[in-house]
Structure 1
Amino acid sequence: MRKNGPMVNRWLYGLMCLLLVLNYGTPLMALAEDVNSDGQLTLGEVKQTSQQEMTLALQGKAQPVTQEVVVHYSANVSIKAAHWAAPNNTRKIQVDDQKKQIQIELNQQALADTLVLMLNPTTTEDVTFYYGQQQRALTLNTGTDPTESTAITSSPAASANEGSTEEASTNSSVSRSSEETVASTTKAIESKTTESTTVKPRVAGPTDISDYFTGDETTIIDNFEDPIYLNPDGTPATPPYKEDVTIHWNFNWSIPEDVREQMKAGDYFEFQLPGNLKPNKPGSGDLVDAEGNVYGTYTISEDGTVRFTFNERITSESDIHGDFSLDTHLNDSDGRGPGDWVIDIPTQEDLPPVVIPIVPDTEQQIDKQGHFDRTPNPSAITWTVDINQAMKDQTNPTVTETWPTGNTFKSVKVYELVMNLDGTIKEVGRELSPDEYTVDKNGNVTIKGDTNKAYRLVYQTTIDEAVIPDGGGDVPFKNHATLTSDNNPNGLDAEATVTATYGKILDKRNIDYDEANQEFTWEINYNYGEQTIPKDQAVITDTMGDNLTFEPDSLHLYSVTFDDKGNEVVGAELVEGKDYKVVINGDGSFAIDFLHDVNGAVKIDYKTKVDGIVEGDVAVNNRVDVGTG
């Protein structure tokens, strides 16, 4: 035995050396295998370029066929969009902020470009990107100075060192040397993909359990039941619905066993309500199953984010499932208004959307208004008739008009109305083409076929001069309209009354007396009702008493218009010989003959002189007449 001792010692020494070499080599081989497994894409430097923008450098190998890879990012980050820095890079990018992942296309061309990522303004804290064993971390700066990334590579050495307490104790010196070798190798690998980086440990924290799913399925929601619609008082609502309707959702959820086995307390599942819905009441509560077992908490945020956060029971129990319900209402922040609202079911891309018919919050079906083309002295009226503001189903809706006396129908146009949810009119929409409706000689309009739209009919009528009083004054015009349809033959009525004010055909007054020169100044307002007076009737005759003499050089004629408040505006002076002529008769009277039709108002100024010496009060007479006499 003594003879064989040295031999045995040498054999034991060789065996220990072999074990030592294996202990060194195994972590390195595992590391190399992990790095190569995600070698299609290399995560490079991460930079923050502004409070709402950051960049991620990427390098990808050329692939024999086009394929897609997925880069994940930490759950506390909200990325709303991404694009390539190089404008000629046409590879597809798709950001899924619910799943916290960026899908990137790799093709036959090698990739070397930078992703420009647009952040939601609320994003704060650390940002970490994951691809295979690669990680890139960045602490966001809430100020304006850009920051750069820190590279982190998960080391398989950590798992290689896990084991029993006895084994860890026995191999303590070997493990320390092994960790140093792996760290050195990790730094060498990292130096090829990013410059000026430092190593920091990965921060353990809650995980979005969508990351635990394999394949296309990433949700714990099994099915959404058909929504229930409620009035503000809690009673069931019937379609079509109004803006104050509550939409009650209920769905079943369950955690697949292969996902549950990976979960830890604090892990969460999150989904976002569609943008056209908002929660009735943000809040939180316990997440329970049918037996009342509490498996965590739920939170419903103002922005429509719903999160389930699970407790430690998910690590020790199986077949975990339950149901969940919440109340929502319409979110009209983008002004989409009434119509069919299409609601996509959250996390259920394979299910058809829910279509909710929404109508304005009004019962009004017809309304009529009238407006003059001018005031005073209007010659035409624009009548507007709005119908079906409640957007009810109608078949062949018809508007029948009863025009006021002295109005003649000229034309009509039909427009769609764009309604607000509250029942007010948002804007006038497109004009209907003539083949979409019929109109008879009286202006009665029928819109063809079935419709649930609101419309505006715009009529033009002229005012007959026969109803305009020569003496001036007010003239009311009352219009009546009736809306009928195949659905409602009895109809609904609307009325509108507008009152026109007209000036006199002739008005004369003395506006001044010059005592020193014994002169009267006269003013005649002619055709202040702005009628159309034919040339052969456009004659003014002024007859004076025996003691007055007309002074021809004092005669001036001016055209007159009226502003929007009815005040007269004196315009250009008319030209004798072009616009009118003056005829002085032998009896001392004179006549003004207009040389064309008169369709506007005219102001006439002139003077007369008293004959002889005036002592005391003297009566004077001056009469004016219109027409051919």
Structure 2
Amino acid sequence: MKQTSQQEMTLALQGKAQPATQEVVVHYSANMSIKAAHWAAPNNTRKIQVDDQKKQIQIELNQQALADTLVLTLNPTTTEDVTFSYGQQQRALTLNTGTDPTESTAITSSPAASANEGSTEEASTNSSVPRSSEETVASTTKAIESKTTESTTVKPRVAGPTNISNYFTGDETTIIDNFEDPIYLNPDGTPATPPYKEDVTIHWNFNWSIPEDVREQMKAGDYFEFQLPGNLKPNKPGSGDLVDAEGNVYGTYTISEDGTVRFTFNERITSESDIHGDFSLDTHLNDSDGRGPGDWVIDIPTQEDLPPVVIPIVPDTEQQIDKQGHFDRTPNPSAITWTVDINQAMKDQTNPTVTETWPTGNTFKSVKVYELVMNLDGTIKEVGRELSPDEYTVDKNGNVTIKGDTNKAYRLEYQTTIDEAVIPDGGGDVPFKNHATLTSDNNPNGLDAEATVTATYGKMLDKRNIDYDEANQEFTWEINYNYGEQTIPKDQAVVTDTMGDNLTFEPDSLHLYSVTFDDKGNEVVGAELVEGKDYKVVINGDGSFAIDFLHDVNGAVKIDYKTKVDGIVEGDVAVNNRVDVGTGQHSEGDGTASQQNIIKNTGAVDYQNSTIG
């Protein structure tokens, strides 16, 4: 890598073809700021993304080998060592504020190449090396390695603090000898057992030692730095003394909130040898990218040759089954959607089975099964893919078995219909209680869940007097028919109205309207029905009349009409009106007609005084 100007540097990369597309992350030191990055080759379309807040560059590797140069645009900075790292590989470069390009000061590659190219290393105020000594960062199995020319000349010491990775002469650039297997702790400090939850503390311990050839080049203030993997964060940023087993202090350490760990060495490093110690820190999961539960793969910092640590993480819940229900409409539902969520805790299950006990008046129609995507806190993030029918079995009752071993969470979505036999003619509330049991080969005793939903239905028939016109002696009547929205066959869809002897039906006043209901159950009067198309009227000889519907009725209907009081009304007169329907129900309405006419009686004639009465 090299600095080409005050605001630009380049990083040469190589990588082998990968079996599948993946991303690798190159970290850079906190003391530099990168504004943007692009490939030098215009036809290179691999994705690159700079996150200057996290001090990292994401680079895509795919099925084609990588051999290109990354051009980095820098924000203004001061003369200072900057470091790039991936795993145990670290490379450093001293930036300058002058105009001359500066190349990496790393000492690498082979003597033969050095002889052929005639390269030598020179000391200067900016600690540069010849431009022919160019560093290539190679990524094969996610590794970054040097491919520059080796020199036997020892690099001159830089005035300011230096990242001691610059002092290594081979591929090894770390003072960390090994990471021990992590220890997992519950929030109360007790040992945790797998699978773990989001609040687990991951305790790391490792040994470090400084090779003598590196120590001989070091000075007080020099430092070693590494970055925690992006999916880990330190429990508590802080600092302290860097000590060996005997308690000798060789410097200080700092742990930054972004996961940068730095060892800064003191004067003792220049006068003592065989310096080593151990170091530990506590970390927790960083779910900022929303990866959620599952197997978390943790790359060991600075130890690329070691396999990653795989940490099984499950949601923070013990819930195994939950059931809910909702209607297709309200009021007057005709179907129920039942949802059963299972294994939200993502435990290991073999052939998990949900057995249903449907409420009276419900008939199973269908079921679909979906994977659930869980959050670390135990809530449901989203509904995932639908399972194919060959991944589960379902019997005629709707009992479902998911085949084989699994640790996933699932949602079963059932459709049931409501039998009209349970819908009350007089309207009212009808509860439906559903019971489900989750069993598996691991837990044959099972876990239960219940859900109750209550449906509200309107009446089949309701008649009432809604207005009285005293001047014209007219009553206005309203019939609410099939407000439970049942399906009534045509031959039963007959409404017969019978009036008292003192009432006469006025045919021109008859109107029928379709009715629906909003989500709060309020009626919404719709279009008027058409006589001859939707219904016909038959007036009987006894003064009653019948409305015959010309098709099945499956919705609510409002019927309005008027009757007139016969004859002269003297005083208050009671009137009555009854309606019957073809399905057997009836309803009555009544009212009172008041005197409207003036009635005068003739008294005795007084001829003497010329008066009457």
User: Under TM normalisation by the shorter chain, which class is it?
Assistant: 0.7 to 0.9
1:209 touches 1:259 (CA, 8 Å); kept in 2?
Answer: yes
- Please report how far the alpha carbon of residue 517 of structure 1 lies from its aligned counterpart in structure 2 after TM superposition: 1.0
- Separation of aligned partners in 2, 1:481 and 1:108: 48
- Could you say if the C-alpha distance between residues 77 and 511 of structure 1 is closer, same or farther in structure 2, counting changes exceeding 3 Å? same
Task: Report if the CA contact (8 A) 1:206-1:267 is conserved.
Answer: yes
Distance verdict in 2 for CA 1:255–1:460, change over 3 Å: same
Change (3 A) 1:96 1:548: closer
Q: Give the conservation status (yes or no) of the 8 Å contact 2:340–2:412.
A: yes
The alpha carbon displacement at 1:48 in A equals: 12
Distance in 2, Cα, partners of 1:499 & 1:248: 52
More moved, 137-146 vs 68-77:
137-146
Cα deviation, residue 83, structure 1:
2.0
- Is the CA contact 1:511–1:523 (under 8 Å) kept in the aligned structure 2? yes
CA distance in 2, matches of 1:192, 1:388: 51
Q: Contact 2:135–2:146 at 8 Å: present in 1 too? A: no
Query: Tell me, what secondary structure is at the counterpart of 2:165?
Result: helix
Relative distance call for 1:95 and 1:433 in structure 2 (3 A) is closer
Counterpart among 10, 15, 19 of residue 64 in structure 1? 19
Alpha-carbon spacing, 1:180–1:542, altered in 2? closer, same or farther (3 Å): closer
Compute the displacement of 1:187 (Å).
Answer: 41
SS, match of residue 442 in structure 2: coil
Instruction: Specify which structure has the higher proportion of helix.
Output: 1
Q: Distance in 1 between matches of 2:500 and 2:219?
A: 116
Distance (Å, rounded) in 2 between the aligned partners of 1:181 and 1:294: 37
Q: CA deviation at 1:216?
A: 1.3
Q: What is the match of residue 111 of structure 1?
A: 66
Distance across 1 between alignment mates of 2:441 and 2:19:
66
Q: Which residue of the partner structure matches residue 382 of structure 1? A: 337
User: Using a 3 Å threshold, how does the CA distance of structure 1 residues 601 and 263 change in structure 2: closer, same or farther?
Assistant: same
Measure how far apart 1:211 and its partner are.
1.0
- Give how far 1:214 is off: 1.6
The verdict on how the C-alpha distance between 1:239 and 1:50 changes in structure 2, with shifts beyond 3 A counting, is: farther
Q: CA deviation at 1:546?
A: 1.1
Q: Which runs of 4+ in 1 moved over 3 A?
A: 46-75, 78-82, 88-116, 118-203, 625-629
Change (3 A) 1:198 1:140: farther
| Alignment counterpart, residue 91 of structure 1, candidates 35, 46, 49 | 46
Cα contact 1:296–1:308 (8 A) shared by 2: yes
How far apart, in 1, do the equivalents of 2:63 and 2:573 lie? 115
CA contact (8 A) 1:372 1:381 kept: yes
Specify the SS of the correspondent of 1:409: strand
- % identity of equivalent residues: 97
Gaps of 5+ in 1: 1-45
CA 628–412 in structure 1, closer or farther in 2 if over 3 Å, else same = farther
1:374 and 1:185 map into 2 onto residues whose CA distance is 60
Deviation at residue 58 of structure 1 after TM alignment: 15
Conserved in 2, the CA contact under 8 Å of 1:554 and 1:606?
yes
**Pair 1:252–1:189, CA change in 2 (3 A):** closer
| Distance in structure 1 (CA, Å) of the matches to 2:17 and 2:135 | 34
User: What SS does the aligned partner of 1:210 have?
Assistant: helix
Per the alignment, do residues 104 and 201 of structure 1 end up closer, same or farther by CA in structure 2, a change over 3 Å counting?
Answer: farther
Q: TM-score by structure 1 length?
A: 0.74
What CA distance in whole angstroms lies between the structure 2 residues aligned with 1:188 and 1:565?
Answer: 63
Retained in 2: the 8 A contact 1:135–1:154?
A: no
Q: Give, in angstroms, the shift of residue 619 of structure 1.
A: 1.0
Q: Cα deviation per residue 1:348-398 (whole Å; 9 max; x = unaligned)?
A: 111000000011111111110010000000000000001111111111110
Q: From the superposition, tell whether residues 514 and 118 of structure 1 become closer, same or farther in structure 2 (CA, over 3 Å).
A: farther
What CA deviation, in whole Å up to 9, does each residue of 1:52-106 have, x standing for no partner? 9888999999999999999999872254873235624799999999999999999
CA distance in 2, matches of 1:358, 1:444: 30
CA contact (8 A) 1:404 1:479 kept: yes
The superposition leaves residues 397-449 of structure 1 with CA deviations (integer Å, 9 ceiling, x where unpaired) of 10000000000000000011111111111111111110000000000001111
Deviates further, 96-105 or 219-228:
96-105
Which consecutive residues of structure 2, in runs of 5 or more, have no partner in the other structure? 579-608
SS in structure 2 at match of 1:620: strand
For residues 166-195 of structure 1, give each alpha carbon's deviation from its aligned partner in whole angstroms, at most 9, with x where no partner exists. Answer: 999999999999999999999999999999
- From the superposition, tell whether residues 413 and 224 of structure 1 become closer, same or farther in structure 2 (CA, over 3 Å): same
Q: CA RMSD in A?
A: 10.7
In the TM superposition, what whole-angstrom CA distance separates every residue of 1:3-34 from its partner, at most 9, and x where no partner exists? Answer: xxxxxxxxxxxxxxxxxxxxxxxxxxxxxxxx
Q: What TM-score comes out, normalization by structure 2 length?
A: 0.76
CA contact (8 A) 1:152 1:202 kept: no
**2:129 match: secondary structure:** helix
Alpha carbons 1:537, 1:628 under 8 Å: kept: no
Change (3 A) 1:217 1:104: farther
Structure 1 residues 500 and 342: alpha-carbon distance in aligned structure 2, compared to 1, 3 A threshold: same
Pairs aligned (count): 583
Change (3 A) 1:183 1:416: closer
CA separation of 1:146 and 1:381: change in aligned 2, threshold 3 A: farther
Secondary structure of the residue that 1:415 maps to in structure 2? strand
> 2 CA distance for matches of 1:549 and 1:173?
114
Task: Return the alpha-carbon distance in structure 1 between the equivalents of residues 164 and 258 of structure 2.
Answer: 21
* CA distance 1:239–1:552, shift in 2 (3 Å): same
Q: Matched residue of 1:520: which SS? A: strand
**Counterpart-to-counterpart distance in 2, 1:220 and 1:309:** 13
Worse overlay, 132-141 or 337-346: 132-141
